[in-house]
Amino acid sequence: MKITIRLIVSLLFVIALVAVVFSFYQVRSEKIRLVNELERRTLVLAESLQESVNPLVQSNSLIKLNRLVERFGNRERLKGVAVYDQQGNVLALTSDLKPKIPQPLPLAVKSIAEKQPAGSFMRIDSKETFLYALPSLEEDNFTGTLVLFHDASYIDVRLNEIWTHNLLRFFTLAILIVVITLLVIRWSITGPIARIAEWMRELRMEKGKISQPVVSPRGDVLAPLISEVTHLAKSLSMARARADEEAKLRLQAESLWTANRLKEYMRAELGGKKLFLISNREPYMHVKEGRNIKCIVPAGGLVTALDPVMRICDGIWIAHGGGDGDREIVDNNDKVRVPHEEPAYTLKRIWLTREEEDGYYYGFSNEGLWPLCHITHTRPIFRLEDWVHYQKVNEKFAEALLKEIADEESPLVLIQDYHLALLPLLIKQKRPDARVALFWHIPWPNPESFGICPWRQEILIGMLGADLMGFHIQFFCNNFLDTVDRFLESRIDWEQFSIERGGHTTIVKPFPISVSFEGFSDEITSNQGKNELKETMLKEIDLYAKYIGVGVDRIDYTKGIPERFRAIERFLEKYPEFVGEFTFIELGAPSRTHIKRYRDLMTEAEEIVDKVNWRFQTKGWKPIVFLKAHHSHEEIYRFYKIADICMVTSLHDGMNLVAKEFIASRGDEDGVLILSQFTGASRELKDAVIVNPYDIEEMADAIHLSLNMEPHERSKRTKRMRTIVKEHNIYSWAGDLIAALARLRPSETLNGKTR
């Protein structure tokens, strides 16, 4: 009985919804039609009547004019006529209307002032009345205006008739559909299902003994169901066993990846083994401030992503010590426990000479490989002396690592990024039992682009020393396999995504990196709290703005910062109502200032900011605030939380964690992410407003769309993206990557050959 009632209610609801929608559309269309028809009829009458009125006005024949007005008043639906002079004074007016309309009549005043026809509705005697004012022009001389009063109440009568007729149709249609549906369901479905249910109950009571249904249903509607149920019964015991096993596994695992879950997971996967992580950039840098030494966290996605992982596994992170206070902090083995306030793992620092740093880091890595992999139309520069330094520094990192793993059996080594492309082979040559993974944090280009590099084969051979090669997305994996296929003699398995060369196999897999979702426990979830924080922060920078946009980047030509600023300029040009209302705050961390291209970029960005601010700024407001400094995570998160939009406009990016950080920070499930289509993050965060950063017009329109987006739409989009970031967080990424490394069988890496 309950199902029947639900079905009837559902049918009635759907029918009512359809009836209301179509009735609303019909009423709306009919109203538009009737109003248009009334306007046309009134215009024709006004123009014809004006031919008689104009001579009387010009000759000042007020008696004849009043007689003419009275004659046309109360004719059919015409309630009356009024004639006004140039100052809006009444010359003639239907007597019945004199006490009922205000003087001066606003519509007449408007028509006189604008010297244009005008129409509007007003209620007279509780009836809707259409007023139409037509100004009189004789030889370019304005003589007054003619106003017609049309009874429009028939429109409401007609619309009420439509609603009444459609209501009757709804009741008739609803009764017929419900009755017919119930009869068909009872005859064809519910009756046979009841018989099948009885058969299944008997089957269950007989503990799995299989028999044919005692009663065959009418027709063949449920015949496939009977067949499938019979097969299902035969495999019932196996299904129950599998379900019990899966239930146990589900109970053992948490629904979401967390730091604790990763810790337990890594403990099981690593079996007590340490993880050795190698990167150019160190997770903590010590810099001198007068006589004191301050510890800072360098900007960049790599540190953000991997520091939580190393805290969990208590491993060893080997990196270049670039801070001017780094040497004073380490022990005799160039090691220091980090972080200082709560030591959780060991940081071993490598020291480079000025020449090595210039050639290896600023030269080959960032003037060669970086623009080579980021297709942003910046020409790569390859110099022989830089390549020599790159090889020597990779060897220096290899020597440091080999000392640390000397007493380790089958050590697990995780190498980070393009600075250390030669390191996998250098390690495997000395320690073939090591399990080595190289994660490439930037895009991998197509073979034609990579072919520019003079030492392309040496780099590929060095990378293929790894047992596991990781990229952010599958597209980069495909490009890498295509590149190896183009430039090296090897055997590629496109089904398993592996490369075999010289008896050694390298597995290539995507591992989309993410951020920690647990670090946002202090989210602001109320508008009041957000507004208070916004007011406080704007006071700090001495600014007022109704809408806030934010961008967080290293100042790098791949991030599309000048394009972003030009889009803001174009946005204010196209939508001037936001001048004085919208301010964009760019948190830019200076980077690689030793390289001329980066210095030129800084100059270009500053010039655009000055130009836009000079053009649009007012007292107490300017469109762009460019804060050039290394900002702490706490400072950045505060800007995330007050922002109405966050712009990530990279011209090419491996993933871009700023996009994910912004989404993770929005506990209020508000804010709009404008995201470049050329970021890896755009493959996951599809509810962002996706843009082409090279299209300034599109980005300007995207800002306008984002600021005008309905609150429920913003919330719905942000909620879905937060779910993605929450489920696929940094711990999920680390668990997948490290598990893939740890599960490599020793036979796969013994002597660098597959067995």
Q: Provide the pLDDT for residue 234.
A: 52
The C-alpha atoms of residue 57 and residue 91 are separated, in whole angstroms, by 8
Query: Would residue 398 count as lying in a domain?
Result: yes
Question: How far does Cα 144 stand from its chain's mean position?
Answer: 58
Residues 139 and 108 in one domain: yes
Residues 303 and 428 in one domain: yes
The domain of 604 spans 527-728
Residues 363 and 478 in one domain: yes
For the segment 643-668, what is each residue's pLDDT rounded down to a tens digit?
A: 999 999 999 999 999 999 999 999 88
C-beta atoms surrounding 515 within 10 Å: 25
Q: Provide the pLDDT for residue 299.
A: 59
For the segment 240-289, what is each residue's pLDDT rounded down to a tens digit?
A: 545 544 444 444 444 678 777 777 787 788 777 888 999 998 999 999 88
Query: Would residue 191 count as lying in a domain?
Result: no
Q: What is the mean pLDDT of residues 423-448?
A: 95
Q: Provide the pLDDT for residue 225.
A: 65
Q: What is the mean pLDDT of residues 72-90?
A: 79
Q: Provide the pLDDT for residue 547.
A: 94
What is the bridge-based pairing of β-strands 504-510 and 468-471? parallel
Query: Would residue 219 count as lying in a domain?
Result: no
Instruction: Tokens 């399990």: give the residue.
Output: 435
Give whichever of 25-34, 262-271, 307-316, 719-728 has the largest mean pLDDT: 719-728
Residues 538 and 637 in one domain: yes
Residue 729: half-sphere exposure toward Cβ, Cα within 13 Å: 23
Query: 308 or 732: whose pLDDT is higher?
Result: 732
Lowest mean pLDDT among 93-107, 255-269, 565-579: 255-269
Which tokens sit at 551?
């961008």
Lowest mean pLDDT among 96-105, 109-118, 190-199, 480-489: 190-199
The C-alpha atoms of residue 697 and residue 468 are separated, in whole angstroms, by 42
Query: Would residue 236 count as lying in a domain?
Result: no
Beta bridge partners of 413: 276, 436
Counting the structural domains of the chain, the total is 3
Q: Provide the pLDDT for residue 568.
A: 96
Domain containing 20 — which CATH number? 3.30.450.20
Residue 519: which of 667, 644, 337, 654 has the closest Cα? 667
Looking at 129, 157, 185, the residue that finishes a domain is 157
C-beta of residue 502 within 8 angstroms of C-beta of residue 754: no
Give whichever of 210-214, 236-240, 351-355 has the largest mean pLDDT: 351-355
Residues 363 and 493 in one domain: yes
Residues 531 and 506 in one domain: no
The C-alpha atoms of residue 315 and residue 263 are separated, in whole angstroms, by 12
Residues in the chain: 755
Q: How buried is 168 (Cβ within 10 angstroms: 0-12 exposed, 13-18 middle, 19+ buried)? A: exposed
Q: What is the mean pLDDT of residues 128-148?
A: 80
Residues 6+ apart with CB under 8 A from 356: 389, 392, 393, 396
Residues 6+ apart with CB under 8 A from 272: none
Question: How far does Cα 493 stand from its chain's mean position?
Answer: 35
* Sign (positive or negative) of CA dihedral 56, 57, 58, 64: positive
Question: How far does Cα 312 stand from its chain's mean position?
Answer: 30
| Cα dihedral value 517, 522, 526, 528, nearest 10 | -140
Residues 400 and 321 in one domain: yes
C-beta of residue 545 within 8 angstroms of C-beta of residue 640: no
Q: Provide the pLDDT for residue 484.
A: 96
For the segment 107-137, what is each residue's pLDDT rounded down to a tens digit?
A: 888 888 888 888 888 888 788 888 888 888 7
Query: Would residue 629 count as lying in a domain?
Result: yes
Residues 6+ apart with CB under 8 A from 615: 569
Residue 125: half-sphere exposure toward Cβ, Cα within 13 Å: 12
Query: Would residue 258 count as lying in a domain?
Result: no
Question: How far does Cα 680 stand from its chain's mean position?
Answer: 12
Looking at 120, 136, 157, the residue that finishes a domain is 157
Residues 6+ apart with CB under 8 A from 173: 15, 19
Question: How far does Cα 227 stand from its chain's mean position?
Answer: 47
Q: Provide the pLDDT for residue 51.
A: 77
Query: Would residue 739 count as lying in a domain?
Result: no
Looking at 510, 541, 565, the residue that finishes a domain is 510
- Across the chain, mean pLDDT equals 84
Which 8-state DSSP code applies to residue 80? E
Residues 501 and 574 in one domain: no
**Coil, strand or helix: which one is 523?**
coil
Do you find a cis peptide bond into 339, omega within 30 degrees of 0?
yes
pLDDT class of 214 with cuts at 50, 70, 90: very low
pLDDT class of 229 with cuts at 50, 70, 90: low
Query: Would residue 95 count as lying in a domain?
Result: yes
C-alpha to C-alpha distances, 97 to 159, 209, 467, nearest whole angstrom: 26, 92, 94
What is the bridge-based pairing of β-strands 498-501 and 504-510? antiparallel
- Has residue 39 got a pLDDT over 70? yes
C-beta of residue 459 within 8 angstroms of C-beta of residue 445: no
What is the bridge-based pairing of β-strands 275-278 and 118-124? unpaired
Residue 733: which of 472, 399, 394 has the closest Cα? 472
Residue 68: which of 54, 88, 85 has the closest Cα? 54
Residues 460 and 550 in one domain: no
The values of phi and psi at residue 627, to 5°, are: -100, 100
The C-alpha atoms of residue 500 and residue 489 are separated, in whole angstroms, by 9
- Has residue 750 got a pLDDT over 70? no
C-alpha to C-alpha distances, 602 to 371, 563, 568, nearest whole angstrom: 17, 13, 18
Question: How far does Cα 541 stand from its chain's mean position?
Answer: 28
| Cα dihedral value 175, 178, 181, 184, nearest 10 | -70
C-beta of residue 646 within 8 angstroms of C-beta of residue 548: no
The C-alpha atoms of residue 222 and residue 192 are separated, in whole angstroms, by 8
Residues 419 and 568 in one domain: no
Q: What is the mean pLDDT of residues 213-238?
A: 56
Q: Provide the pLDDT for residue 243.
A: 52
Domain containing 541 — which CATH number? 3.40.50.2000
Residues 317 and 290 in one domain: yes
For the segment 159-184, what is each residue's pLDDT rounded down to a tens digit?
A: 888 888 888 888 888 888 888 877 87
Q: What is the mean pLDDT of residues 197-216?
A: 55
Residues 457 and 558 in one domain: no
For the segment 590-640, what is each residue's pLDDT rounded down to a tens digit?
A: 888 888 888 999 999 999 999 999 999 998 899 999 999 888 888 899 999
- Percent of all residues in the chain with a pLDDT value above 90, rounded to a whole number: 45
